[in-house]
Structure 1
Amino acid sequence: MQLTGKITRDSLMTLEAYSKYRKERKSEVIAHRKLRSVPLGDHINLQFESELTIRYQIQEMLRIEKIFEEEGIEQEIEAYAPLMPDGSNWKATMLIEYPDVNERKRELARLIGVEDRMFVEVEGHPRVYAIADEDLDRENDEKTSAVHFVRFEFTPEMKAAVKAGASVKLGCDHTNYPAHTMIAPETLASLAGDLR
């Protein structure tokens, strides 16, 4: 998969070429996705997106839906491309995971606003809170969604610190879900590549 920094119709593979690529490289993409997955506590997981993960998602949707017409391809790009980091930020799909349906229902009611209480803290710099769900509102007065899309914006100084090897903490200071974790060095190395 050719990474170009911008996803356009012309930079995507044909369905035939993607089918071949998928057979040869699916395990590499899964390993990349796993590397960029950061669990926070027992029930929240952040999947940090990259150009590779977003290209793969678009190609998968085109393959599954058998989309090959220009308009359909553009719609998929418009839906997923905004989830790709643009050099000054990290973007992630945030999953709230409770296997038991009753527990999940109860906890989603207790976790209203949790997406706005997610933060990253670069060593030596103040916390940066998530900008959540820019696509649409994902909660109501009764519960939050189990899936959110979050963006963490960095100052030039924070970007330089991450690229120079500063440690980074991922956390949440929601009253009903206080948690934090240090991002593993190998994950952080991958995420640092998103910053320009």
Structure 2
Amino acid sequence: MTITRDTLLTLEAYARQRKALRAEAIAHRRLRSIGLGEHMTLQFEDEHTIRRQIQEMLHIEKIFEDEGIQAEIDAYAPLVPDGHNWKATVLLEYPDVHERRRELARLIGVEDRLFVEVEGHARVYAIADEDLDRETADKTSSVHFVRFELPAAARQAVRAGAQVRVGCDHTNYPAHLSIPAETLASLAGDLRG
């Protein structure tokens, strides 16, 4: 389903349902989140997570004009997978500000070293930050947006039950793991063909 102005709740309706919808949204987000190593989380997006994000932004910012609503849709809609890919928000989390500054300097380019590997298929590396460059010469950002463009055969394998690993082969952040079955089942639903 495409997110349009007509498919969103009004501010009033969302405000009434917000608390009731929160637990479901948190459970769905948790299902689609993968901790990779100690400091990285990949939050795989879908229509549900992005719709919730748009509704939250409209609620928080009290946006009710058509132009403002469309601007939020335009900003977030590119994060919804299109059936050929997985899209994720990548969070690099270091609670201590000094450690964060040091590690983000060591992790320049980490977003380009993220991969998914479908059983029996070649690794697919992330296409990162298509909206804007999020790193400088001195450090990477603590938030990145990535896309894993999966070939048709890999998509079919995932839908047929193949195992999938997610990982990072950056020199300063080597990590990988098999995507848990429940999470993989949710991600498989994002794929077509």
Fold conserved (TM > 0.5)?
A: yes
Pair 1:87 & 2:76 matched: no
> Which of the residues 105, 117, 122 maps onto 2:118?
122
Q: Structure 1: how far apart are the matches of 2:129 and 2:21?
A: 31
Pair 1:168 & 2:164 matched: yes
- Matched with 1:23 is 19
- Matched with 1:190 is 186
SS of 2:186's partner is helix
- Matched with 1:151 is 147
5 Å-filtered alignment, 1:44-63, equals 44-63=40-59
Which residue identity lines up with residue 187 of structure 1 in the other structure? T
Which residue identity lines up with residue 37 of structure 2 in the other structure? G
Q: Structure 2: how far apart are the matches of 1:191 and 1:95?
A: 19
TM-superposed CA distance for 1:21, in Å, is 2.5
Pair 1:77 & 2:73 matched: yes
- Matched with 1:98 is 94
Which residue identity lines up with residue 109 of structure 1 in the other structure? A
- Matched with 1:111 is 107
Count of matched residue pairs = 192
Which residue identity lines up with residue 18 of structure 2 in the other structure? R
TM-superposed CA distance for 1:101, in Å, is 0.5
- Matched with 2:62 is 66
Which residue identity lines up with residue 50 of structure 2 in the other structure? I
Q: Structure 2: how far apart are the matches of 1:12 and 1:157?
A: 35
TM-superposed CA distance for 1:73, in Å, is 0.2
Unaligned runs of 5+ in 2: none
TM-superposed CA distance for 1:16, in Å, is 1.3
5 Å-filtered alignment, 1:22-41, equals 22-41=18-37
TM-score (norm 2): 0.98
TM-superposed CA distance for 1:17, in Å, is 1.4
Q: How big is each residue's C-alpha offset from its partner over 1:45-84, in whole Å with a ceiling of 9 and x where there is no partner?
A: 0000010000000000001111110000011001111111
Q: Structure 2: how far apart are the matches of 1:42 and 1:23?
A: 31
Bigger mean CA offset, 118-127 vs 17-26: 17-26
TM-superposed CA distance for 1:27, in Å, is 0.3
Q: Which runs of 4+ in 1 moved over 4 A?
A: none
